[in-house]
Amino acid sequence: MSSVPIVRLDDVSKHFTVRKDKSLKERIVNAARGRAHAEHFEALKHISLEIDTGSTVGLIGPNGSGKSTLLKTIGGIIQPSSGTVERRGRMAALLELGAGFHPDLTGRENVYLNASILGLSERQTDQYFDAIVDFSGIEQFIDQQVKFYSSGMYVRLAFAVAVHVDPDLLLVDEVLAVGDEAFQEKCLDKIRSFQLEGRTIVLVTHALSQITDLCTRGVVLSRGSMVFDGPPIEAVDVLRGGFRSQRDYEDARRPVQEDEQPVEPMERVTIDGVRMVDASGTEITTTQVGSDVALEVDLTAHDPVEHWRLGVALATGFGQLALFTTTQRLGIETGRISGPVRVRVEMPDLHLGTGEYTVSTAIEHIEGPELARADEALRIRVEGDGSSSGTARTTLIGGLQTR
């Protein structure tokens, strides 16, 4: 793998002007009174970054941290207020749903339009056209105007064009989460093939499992500044730590109501382990569609806790929720706990679609705050014959055990 940078940003900042007045009249009145009618918002602050050829970089951070702005700056969609951006090679970008498509043109016409924007000649597009349509899976709608397309159809066609223009650099901004699960798997396979071919990928996502599974590097942004640049697992830990700090800060600033009952602090309960087991009780990381499995969550209540519930969520690699339940929904009598406890959720005749899933869990007071959380604590792969896909369709049975 070459270490030659394909993208270089040097001290890049981006400022936007946010206007407070909504009409010409307000602007004139404010000017006459000497009132400021606009303020400057710093979306990016002194970002210096080099992206090597063949790497896969994940940009993560809370909403409003500047991820999409940075990606658009890399792609040349917006120009920085200061600093320089250098980029080489052919680029393909999926930055906004339907970007580069004209609503009054058909899918076929938009393929040629979008391909030309990305640098292909008409003859080259002719060569790729059948492969693009086949990958998108919308052959029967290709001659309809795209203004009648669903958001999923938009994404299918846009991604199909982007990956068939032979890009050296692919920019992806969260849009793939719109597609259905089968298409997401196809996109993931294509991204992995790009990685094997030594192409460079920069993606923005809120699905942290994509960062650890796909990326060779993670960049964490916060309020326009780059706060971490390094291994993906460490980047995810930094982001989660920032979320906890922000939540603690907001809880501390929240005014307490007179009739509000005191709640236990978060450290009173810990989640010690999350695992999937088969019918014999053996821990597993891979299972088959239709198998009998169970999810076990080990907790320790360091002090007695009452009126609590545990939530469990299974999500696809793109962060789309496949299943969510709680002990309260399952009718499990949680009662008062003290010391180690195991919560077991049985899933007989498992019907998850084939693919990889992450399991997250959290414990909270029924009428109060969260006590402990384990995001993406477990990764499970479901294998099958390809006859099933989509959301979970399974019977859930819950139980509570001491351990």
3-state class (DSSP) for residue 96: coil
> What pLDDT, on a 0 to 100 scale, did the predictor assign at position 10?
94
pLDDT in tens, 43-63: 899 999 999 999 999 998 887
Judge contact between 350 and 386, C-beta under 8 A. Answer: no
CATH of the domain at 308: 2.70.50.60
Same domain assignment for residues 203 and 293:
no
Same domain assignment for residues 308 and 234:
no
The last residue of one of the domains, among 238, 256, 287, is 238
Domain total of the chain? 2
Q: Which of 190, 216, 221, 188 is nearest to 202 (CA)?
A: 216
Q: Which residue has the higher pLDDT, 256 or 403?
A: 403
> CA-to-CA distance for 343 and 50, rounded, in angstroms?
46
Proportion of the chain in helix, strand, coil states, percent, rounded to 5: 30, 40, 35
User: For residue 228, is it within any domain?
Assistant: yes
CB under 8 Å to 143, separation ≥6 — which residues? Answer: 106, 107, 108
Same domain assignment for residues 67 and 203:
yes
Same domain assignment for residues 155 and 282:
no
Q: Cα–chain-centroid distance for residue 215?
A: 13
**Residue 103 amino acid letter:** P
User: For residue 257, is it within any domain?
Assistant: no
User: What is the average pLDDT score of the chain?
Assistant: 80
3-state class (DSSP) for residue 28: helix
Judge contact between 312 and 364, C-beta under 8 A. Answer: no
Q: How many helices, marked H, and strands, marked E, lie in the chain?
A: 8, 19
Same domain assignment for residues 166 and 22:
yes
pLDDT in tens, 349-387: 877 777 788 888 888 887 667 788 888 888 888 887 655
pLDDT of 164 over the 80 cut: yes
Same domain assignment for residues 58 and 179:
yes
User: For residue 396, is it within any domain?
Assistant: yes
pLDDT of 187 over the 50 cut: yes
pLDDT in tens, 112-126: 988 888 778 889 899
pLDDT in tens, 9-42: 999 999 987 766 566 666 666 665 555 566 778 8
Same domain assignment for residues 232 and 362:
no
Q: State the CB neighbour count (10 A cutoff) for residue 178.
A: 18
CATH of the domain at 96: 3.40.50.300
Burial class of residue 32, CB neighbours in 10 A (0-12, 13-18, 19+) = exposed
Same domain assignment for residues 154 and 44:
yes
Same domain assignment for residues 222 and 277:
no
243-256 mean pLDDT: 50
Neighbouring C-alpha atoms within 13 Å toward the C-beta of 21? 13
User: For residue 196, is it within any domain?
Assistant: yes
Same domain assignment for residues 165 and 300:
no
Domain that holds residue 98: 5-238
The label of the residue with tokens 């509000």 reads 260
User: For residue 244, is it within any domain?
Assistant: no
CB under 8 Å to 267, separation ≥6 — which residues? Answer: 302
Q: Are strands 217-222 and 200-204 parallel, antiparallel or unpaired?
A: unpaired
User: For residue 255, is it within any domain?
Assistant: no
User: For residue 357, is it within any domain?
Assistant: yes
Q: What tokens does 94 get?
A: 């999926």
Same domain assignment for residues 27 and 176:
yes
Same domain assignment for residues 367 and 283:
yes
Q: Which residue has the higher pLDDT, 398 or 60?
A: 60
The last residue of one of the domains, among 220, 238, 256, is 238
Taking CA atoms, 384 is separated from 259, 353, 356, in Å, by 53, 8, 12
Give the residue ranges of DSSP H helices in 255-320.
Answer: none
> What pLDDT, on a 0 to 100 scale, did the predictor assign at position 56?
93
